[in-house]
Structure 1
Amino acid sequence: MKTYRIRKPKIVIIGGGTGLPVILKSLRDQSADITAIVTVADDGGSSGKLRESINIAPPGDLRNVLVALSDMPQIYEDIFQYRFKQEDQFLADHTIGNLIIAALSEMRNSTYEAIQLLSKIMHVDGHIYPASENSLTLHAKYKDGTEESGESKIALERKQIDYVYVTNTYNAEKPIASRKVVTAIEEADMIVLGPGSLYTSILPNLVIEEIAESIKKTKAEVVYICNIMTQKGETEYFSDADHIRVLNHHLKTPFINTVLVNTEKVPQGYMNAEKYDEYLVQVAHDFNGLREQGCRVISADFLELKNGGVFHDGQKVVEELFRLVFGTSY
């Protein structure tokens, strides 16, 4: 049920992957002024094929965010999210939504404009902006001095990552933020990072210089929703404090005000290791390490077990976000 408030807090949520839509769906029901800033560095699957074929920003993460913030009937969502079967040759692995975004991007000569048009068509409650209006390529520099390019390839190396950065995929110009992104951050009451893959969903947005600088200057509460599980090739052996250290390292200053940490245990043997093969073990807790970096820690049961996977409970997370943004119980 939708909650209505006289004052709608301005909440900017930054990320990508499967974690972002979980929080956005619950935020949509809480009468917030929502802005989603979405990564455009995905180069795998349907998104990767489309951005190679027709020179557009990858549509997959944007598609999922559109669905999360839309109030369209379930049957329309099912159609938009339908993925063609592997044996369908040319259309194999493509979703209808990705193809629609690609078509509109070509018609309008802009993925940004395509997403704004679809937001109106799909009755999106909020604003959705790609982090950049151009497709970006993610690069990782490993601690052994080697380097890899491409979001889908970085974790495969199973090496410790020192830092990541992005470049424009189709030209040598410096990556810049999409229109209205910096303004949304400047006007926000709260900025939420995650949940999502640290190096491949969250940081590709933050290493765009304009976004990094605006977040460092903001007076808004900056909240990081720490992942529940470590990820193969990205955050192996990481504690929650290690996640914050990496974020601070990339922006060269402590900038996270509050961290949401799940303390509920995942039942042994629960996870479907074949389906969710990128996840390893639960993130270890280092509350002293978090506090040393100036973070307020909110630890609670944020766990949702579903279909053999481990997720954040969107409703519980959003309840904490609203307590923070209003400063009191609401």
Structure 2
Amino acid sequence: MAEEPRQPPHADQPLRVVALGGGTGLAALLGALKREASRGRDPWTLTGIVTVSDNGGSSGRLREELGGIPPGDLRNCLSALTQEASPLSDLLGYRFKGDGSLAGHSLGNLMLWALADLTGDWVRAIRQLSNVLVTVGRLYPSTVVPVTLCAEDWEGVRHVGETAVGACHPPISRLWLEPRSAEPLPEAVLALLRADLVILSPGSLYTSTIANLLLPELQEAIGFSGAPVLYVANLMTEPGESAGLDLEDHLVAISSFGKVRISGTIVNSTPAPGDLVQRYREEGGEPLSSMADRIMGVPIFPYPLLDPEARVARHHPDLLNRAIREVIPRLPVG
């Protein structure tokens, strides 16, 4: 059976858009794009592929105590794709209080893990919870194999686990997943092969944005698809893994470790308020911006993205949506 021809990547036509990432960054991106997947005319086909190397917090405890992949980032992205706010979607983010064994656990994490245990299938569990929540788009873990993110810095020191990698200081000389034989989810590979546009979400550089790309089959699927790859840059650098890195350093890391060719980068052009910048600087973060038109041959598209009402640096969903829609026709194809 012949594969359906890919639609040209144009903002006014239906697109098959695949976004990769983890944590709050991918959730923010999916939240900004879900209106395109739910509109009545020419809706986009929106797919999120979520990194599953988290070993901290509620997800890390469930992974250690019960096995399986960490559900936290999947739960965040499901909430972002919910068509309308509801008490059930609010429940997903509820965290138990107190000092008992449930303290700190997210109810959504427990629900998702329980569904996966009952069905014996993470894809089915996500689909069932998606149906209850009435979400738009599809969501897949990058792999259902419990993987550990590992890094080695330039001094030869190894950092094992996402938490340790996130706390280490750049530059990083090696980055990989264990077991190295971990296979990606076939549905994730197929979504990338059929993609008209691939978006790398903002988020922690090594532990979220690049982590999915460490699976060779996902790298190959992106390259084989011929789809343009759009990177949405962070608003701020993070203490630890991206401290002191500029936008060029981010692009070098993605290209070096992720082995993907970036077609364009969206970067924030709105100066952050002084008090916000000061709070981030006290923790080791800095605004991430660029005045260049191109970096390493990659077109740079500056847009106002900062949410002016948020108390922390966050992409405004309407501004991010507009930026992506306007950039799509300007991306090189092939």
Partner of 1:285: 290
Candidates 198, 206, 215, aligned match of 1:208: 215
Aligned partner of 2:300: which letter? V
CA contact (8 A) 2:233 2:265 kept: yes
CA distance, structure 1, for counterparts of residue 18 and residue 170 of structure 2 = 32
Aligned partner of 1:191: which letter? V
CA contact (8 A) 2:303 2:323 kept: no
Structure 2 vs 1, CA of residues 326 and 292 (structure 1 numbering), >3 Å: closer, same or farther?
Answer: closer
Task: Report sequence identity in percent.
Answer: 31
CA contact (8 A) 1:229 1:279 kept: no
**SS of aligned partner of 1:145:** coil
Structure 1 segments, 4+ long, off by >4 Å, are 276-279
Structure 2 vs 1, CA of residues 279 and 118 (structure 1 numbering), >3 Å: closer, same or farther?
Answer: farther
CA contact (8 A) 1:257 1:295 kept: yes
Bigger CA drift: 318-327 or 92-101?
318-327
Bigger CA drift: 317-326 or 220-229?
317-326
CA contact (8 A) 1:9 1:325 kept: no
Q: Are 1:49 and 2:52 counterparts?
A: no
- RMSD of equivalent CA atoms: 2.3
CA contact (8 A) 1:38 1:128 kept: yes
CA deviation digits over 1:259-282, x for unaligned, max 9? 0011211111226849x9866111
Candidates 258, 262, 270, aligned match of 2:264: 258
CA distance, structure 2, for counterparts of residue 48 and residue 278 of structure 1 = 24
Partner of 1:122: 133
Aligned partner of 1:98: which letter? N
Equivalent pairs counted in the alignment come to 315
Partner of 2:142: 131
Greater strand proportion: 1
**SS of aligned partner of 2:36:** coil
Partner of 2:117: 106
Displacement of 1:300 in angstroms is: 1.7
Structure 2 vs 1, CA of residues 71 and 277 (structure 1 numbering), >3 Å: closer, same or farther?
Answer: farther
Aligned partner of 2:160: which letter? S
Candidates 181, 189, 199, aligned match of 2:206: 199
**SS of aligned partner of 1:36:** strand
CA contact (8 A) 2:248 2:295 kept: no
Superposed, 1:230-269 pairs within 5 Å as: 230-252=237-259, 255-269=261-275
Bigger CA drift: 51-60 or 41-50?
51-60
CA contact (8 A) 1:231 1:280 kept: yes
CA distance, structure 2, for counterparts of residue 295 and residue 327 of structure 1 = 12
Partner of 2:302: 299
Q: Are 1:27 and 2:33 counterparts?
A: yes
Bigger CA drift: 312-321 or 153-162?
153-162
CA distance, structure 2, for counterparts of residue 48 and residue 124 of structure 1 = 26
Q: Are 1:144 and 2:155 counterparts?
A: yes
Aligned partner of 1:56: which letter? G
CA distance, structure 2, for counterparts of residue 167 and residue 98 of structure 1 = 23
CA distance, structure 2, for counterparts of residue 123 and residue 277 of structure 1 = 41
CA deviation digits over 1:58-114, x for unaligned, max 9? 0000001111111254311111210111x2411111011000011111112232321
Displacement of 1:203 in angstroms is: 1.1
CA distance, structure 1, for counterparts of residue 310 and residue 289 of structure 2 = 24
Structure 2 vs 1, CA of residues 277 and 96 (structure 1 numbering), >3 Å: closer, same or farther?
Answer: farther
Displacement of 1:164 in angstroms is: 1.5
Aligned partner of 1:68: which letter? A
**SS of aligned partner of 2:14:** coil
Displacement of 1:119 in angstroms is: 1.7
Displacement of 1:286 in angstroms is: 6.1
**SS of aligned partner of 1:229:** coil
Aligned partner of 2:27: which letter? P
Aligned partner of 1:113: which letter? R
CA contact (8 A) 1:83 1:96 kept: yes
CA contact (8 A) 1:34 1:127 kept: yes
CA contact (8 A) 2:20 2:200 kept: yes
Partner of 1:319: 322
CA distance, structure 2, for counterparts of residue 77 and residue 62 of structure 1 = 13
Aligned partner of 2:70: which letter? P
Structure 2 vs 1, CA of residues 82 and 300 (structure 1 numbering), >3 Å: closer, same or farther?
Answer: same
CA contact (8 A) 1:80 1:97 kept: yes
Displacement of 1:124 in angstroms is: 1.7
**SS of aligned partner of 1:287:** coil
The unaligned stretches of length 5 or more in structure 2 are: 1-10, 38-43
Aligned partner of 2:275: which letter? G
**SS of aligned partner of 2:100:** helix
Displacement of 1:224 in angstroms is: 0.3
